Chain A
Amino acid sequence: MASYIKVENLDFFYGDFQALHNINLEIEPKKITALIGPSGCGKSTFIRTLNRMNDLIDGTRVHGKIILDGKSILKNEIDVVELRKRVGMVFQKPNPFPKSIYENVIYGPKRHGIRNKSQLDQLVEQSLKNVALWDEVKDRLNESALALSGGQQQRLCIARSLAMKPDVLLMDEPTSALDPISTLRIEELVQQLKEQYTIVIVTHNMQQAARISDITAFFLNGELIEYGQTEYIFTKPCDQRTEDYITGRFG
C-alpha cells in the first residue's frame, strides 16, 4: 500500500545548527515527489527524517510532526526497524552487500524471519522483475553482486528495498553515480514503481526532477521555499528564489 505522509512544523538540528526550519509538506501516495535545492539546503536531511535515519547521527534533535498514514513516526516508542521496513531507502552510490545477487535481495526478508525457500525464490524473482533486472541476472543469481555494472547494482539495491515490501521508497540521489543510459533506465523504473509506492527522490539534477516527478519541492537554507506540481514549478514558479534556482541564476 502506498502511504500518505504529512509533515507539520518540522525543525531539525545538528547540535546547535538548525538544518530545517518549520517544514510543512504533504507527500502523496502513488506520486513521485522530488526534492531539489543547492547543496546544504536540507533536502537530504529532510528525506532522512522520513525513516529516521538521522537517529543514527549523534547530537541531532527534531521537533514537529511526521505523520505516516495517520500515525506519528517521531515518537520514541515507534519501532524504527519496523518503520524502515515500511519506508525503504536507496542511496547515492549503489551499495550492494559483498554477497551473491540472490543473497542481496533476501537479506532483509531473511532477517525478518522469512525462511521458506520457495517463498524466498519467489520474492527474488518478483523483486528483480520489478526493477527490470531479472532477465539480465536470472542465470547467475549466485554470482557476486559486485560483478554487476553500476546501473545494475543500483537496480539491485532498489530490488533489495522492494523485497521488504515497503509503502514508501526514499531515494537519495539514486543516479548521481551512474552514466546517462543507466540513469534513464532508473528514471523509467521509478516512474513505473510509482504505481504502487509513494516515492520521494532527492536530486541534484534539476532536469531529472523535471522529467520524472509529479510534485517538486524546492529547499533553500533549510527552508521549504515552494512546492507544487512539477510542470508549474518549472514553468511558472511563484517564488523568485525558485525562479532564480531553476533558471541557473542563483547567487
Chain B
Amino acid sequence: MTRYNYQNALDELEKEILKMGSLVEEQINLAVTSLAKQDLELARKVVDQDDIIDSLELEIEEKILKLIATQQPMAKDLRRIAAGFKIITDLERIGDNAVDIAKTTLRIGNEPLIKPLIDIPRMAEITQNMLREALDAYINEDVKLAETLAAKDDIVDSLHAQIIRELLTYMFENPRNINQGTHLMFVSRYLERIADHATNLGENVIYMVTAERKDLNE
C-alpha cells in the first residue's frame, strides 16, 4: 500500500466528478421533458437545481487545488487531475445549456407548440448518451469509447441542421411561427453545444490516458 491517503483523495475526486456529471445529465433530460410537455413547474426546477451544480463545481475545483498544492501529482495522476479540472468546466457549461432550454420552456409558456417535438427529444437523448459515455470513458480510461464520440457528434450536427431547415419551413409558411420557431432553433443549438462539450470531455480523456491530443470535433 503506497500513498493511501493520496489515492483515496484521487478516488474521491473521481466520484464527485461523476456525481456532478449525472446531475448534469439529469438536467438535460428534465429540461427537454419540460419543453416537450410544456411543464413550467419542471422547467423552474431545472433552473433552481443549477445552483447545486455550480457549487459542486467550486467544491471540486477547491479539492483539485488542494491536491495539487499538497500532493505534487505527477505524470498520469497530474493529467487525470488536469483533465478533471477541464471536465468540470465543460459540465458546468452543459448545466447552463440545460437551464437555457428550461428558460425556453418558460418563454413559450402555455402557447400551443407549432409542431410536435420529435427530433429535439431524439437529439437530447443522443447528447445525454454522449455525456454518459464520456464520463464512463473517464472513469475506465477507455480511449476507444472516447473516440466514438466524434461520430455521434456528427449525428447531432446533422440533426441540428435538419431541425433548423424544418423550423425555417414552418416560419416561411406562417410568420406567426417565427417567435416560437426561433426559440426552438436556439434549443437545437444548445443541444448541439452540449454534444460539443461532450466531445471536449472525450478529448480530455484521451489526453489523460495517452498524453496525446486528438480532435473529436473536426
Contacts and interface: CB of A to CB of B under 8 A. Distances in A.
A185 B1 CA distance: 9
A235 B71 CA distance: 12
Contacts of A191: 4-5
B69 A234 contact: yes
A53 B3 CA distance: 32
Given A231-B66, A235-B65, A235-B66, A211 B72 contact: yes
Interface residues of A, number: 13
A235 B69 contact: yes
Nearest to B6: A211
Contacts of B65: 235
A230 B70 contact: yes
Contacts of B70: 210-211, 230-231, 234
Contacts of B4: 188, 191
A184 B2 contact: yes
A43 B56 CA distance: 39
A235 B67 CA distance: 10
Contacts of B1: 188
Interface string A13-57: 000000000000000000000000000000000000000000000
Contacts of A185: 2
Nearest to B4: A188
A136 B3 CA distance: 20
Given A231-B66, A235-B66, A207 B3 contact: no
Interface string A222-248: 000000001100110000000000000
Contacts of B71: 210-211
A187 B5 CA distance: 11
Interface in B72-98: 72
Contact of B69 (A184, A212, A231): A231
A185 B4 CA distance: 11
Contacts of B2: 184-185, 188
Nearest to B65: A235
Nearest to B68: A235
A241 to B, nearest CB: 18
B141 to A, nearest CB: 24
A207 B65 CA distance: 14
A207 B3 CA distance: 14
A188 B7 CA distance: 12
Nearest to B70: A210
Contacts of A184: 2-3
Interface of A: 184-185, 187-188, 191, 207, 210-212, 230-231, 234-235
Given A211-B6, A234-B66, A235-B65, 8 more contacts: A184-B3, A187-B3, A188-B1, A210-B69, A211-B70, A211-B72, A231-B66, A235-B66
8 contacts: A184-B2, A184-B3, A187-B3, A188-B1, A191-B5, A231-B66, A234-B69, A235-B66
